[in-house]
């Protein structure tokens, strides 16, 4: 989706107002973090002018509620600091943020923080509640998750990115906005700040500690292959398919063995049907070749198949084997979603070949780290 860019870069956007008092508060926040306190003097928090902040939009067009009900969630949101996490379960950038979000839920939920996962799907299979429920269980998500299958809540937030975190204060004003991975310490400091504001407003005390969740952050390769899309609509204007046959919308294409392989392009071999968001293997076997640069490779797939992975013409060694590869060098696709096939310590260029056994196998995208 050209206008819906999955954000892998690490950057954040704090909603800023041009009022001196707010600037002083954020300056104070930075200083008190260095001294292991956050807004210890909460008496000044009542002076914040919120006229420049927007209210969080309503959750609209929700197809399913996981870990909650519509009535329960509506009541829970009232008077809470709410972190809205817009994500989708086959997005590797989203998945990398989940350990932090679940840790914040464990740490702050009894202090007035409510986390709401807004699952806005990129692919059709992500609209299936059974698939999303399986992902929620897999990643240990206990907080409410709403399925925004028609992207109506996504649009209400005027969002264009996966993942994206918005934080609303206890009065419902959006006070923070972060796009993509990273910014975890900054985000947690904002959570602490807004919980202090809430406590001061309702006359309670909260844990004054400013210690932050300590989780090792994934380090991206500086130079890496961009996400590669197999669907002709998703790949539009990206020039990622290297095969001479090109995309042929809605048709079964017999892709031939390439004479040359270019970096950052993929080459299917065999009979593949072209869909808007994917390619489907219509013969019993087929293959995909790819020359990439990264230290990590992930694949988003659907329908049962066995995939043999070769790297530079050889079976994967332990040094490169991803967490979803079996001991016999096979990726067994049994569920629709994200699989890690390459994981190494350093970024480098490699020729990868995937030999597919399984008619009906569908591939949506490669992602890299």
Q: Same structural domain for residues 37 and 170?
A: yes
The rounded mean pLDDT for the chain is 89
DSSP for residue 181: S
96, part of any domain: yes
pLDDT digit string, tens, across residues 286-324? 999 999 999 999 999 999 999 999 999 999 999 999 999
Q: Same structural domain for residues 18 and 143?
A: yes
**Number of folded domains that form the chain:** 2
Q: Same structural domain for residues 186 and 234?
A: no
Q: Same structural domain for residues 191 and 281?
A: no
208, part of any domain: no
34, part of any domain: yes
Q: Any idea which residue has 């902040």 for tokens?
A: 53
Residues 93 and 162: beta-carbon distance below 8 Å = yes
- Give the rounded percent of residues in the chain with a pLDDT score beyond 90: 84
Q: Same structural domain for residues 237 and 191?
A: no
222, part of any domain: no
Q: Same structural domain for residues 197 and 268?
A: no
DSSP-based three-state secondary structure for 73 = helix
Q: Same structural domain for residues 244 and 325?
A: yes
40, part of any domain: yes
The domain containing residue 282 runs over which residues? Answer: 228-368
Q: Same structural domain for residues 192 and 246?
A: no
pLDDT digit string, tens, across residues 351-367? 999 999 999 999 999 99
Q: Same structural domain for residues 251 and 333?
A: yes
pLDDT digit string, tens, across residues 177-231? 999 999 999 999 999 999 999 999 999 988 867 799 999 999 999 999 999 999 9
Q: Same structural domain for residues 246 and 139?
A: no
Beta strand extents in the chain (DSSP E only): 5-6, 11-13, 64-66, 81-87, 113-119, 145-147, 161-162, 164-168, 174-179, 228-229, 252-255, 265-274, 279-281, 285-302, 305-311, 314-315, 330-333, 337-357, 362-368
DSSP-based three-state secondary structure for 32 = helix
304, part of any domain: yes
221, part of any domain: no
For residue 70, give the CATH number of its domain.
Answer: 3.40.30.10
Q: Same structural domain for residues 162 and 197?
A: yes
29 versus 361: the higher-pLDDT residue is 361
141, part of any domain: yes
Domain's final residue, options 202, 218, 236 = 202
């Amino acid at each position: 989706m050209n206008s819906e860019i999955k954000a892998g870069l690490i950057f954040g956007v704090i909603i800023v107002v041009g009022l001196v008092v707010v600037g002083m508060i954020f300056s104070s926040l930075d200083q008190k973090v260095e001294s292991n306190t956050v807004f210890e003097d909460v008496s000044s928090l009542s002076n914040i002018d919120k006229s420049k902040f927007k209210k969080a939009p309503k959750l609209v067009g929700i197809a399913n509620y996981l870990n909650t009900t519509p009535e329960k969630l509506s009541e829970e949101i009232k008077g809470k600091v709410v972190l809205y996490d817009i994500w989708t379960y086959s997005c590797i950038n989203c998945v990398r943020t989940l350990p932090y979000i679940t840790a914040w839920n464990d740490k702050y939920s009894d202090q007035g923080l409510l986390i709401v996962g807004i699952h806005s799907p990129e692919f059709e299979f992500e609209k299936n509640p059974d698939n999303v429920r399986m992902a929620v269980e897999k990643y240990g998500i206990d907080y409410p998750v709403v399925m925004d299958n028609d992207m109506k809540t996504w649009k209400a937030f005027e969002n264009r990115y996966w993942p994206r975190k918005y934080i609303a204060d206890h009065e419902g004003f959006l006070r923070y906005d972060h796009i993509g991975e990273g910014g975890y310490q900054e985000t947690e400091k904002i959570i602490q700040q807004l919980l202090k504001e809430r406590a001061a407003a309702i006359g309670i005390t909260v844990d004054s500690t400013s210690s932050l969740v300590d989780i090792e952050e994934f380090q991206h390769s500086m130079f890496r292959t961009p996400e590669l899309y197999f669907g002709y609509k998703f790949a539009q204007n990206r020039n990622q398919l290297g095969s001479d046959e090109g995309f042929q919308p809605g048709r079964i294409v017999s892709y031939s063995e390439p004479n040359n392989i270019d970096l950052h392009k993929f080459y299917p071999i065999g009979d593949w049907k072209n869909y808007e968001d994917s390619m489907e293997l219509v013969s019993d076997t087929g293959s995909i070749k790819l020359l990439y640069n990264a230290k990590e490779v992930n694949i988003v797939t659907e329908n049962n198949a066995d995939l043999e992975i070769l790297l530079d013409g050889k079976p994967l060694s332990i040094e490169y084997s991803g967490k979803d590869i079996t001991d016999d060098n096979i990726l067994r696709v049994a569920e629709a979603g994200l699989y890690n096939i390459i994981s190494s310590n350093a970024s480098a260029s490699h020729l990868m070949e995937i030999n597919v056994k399984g008619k009906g196998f569908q591939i949506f995208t490669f992602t890299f780290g």
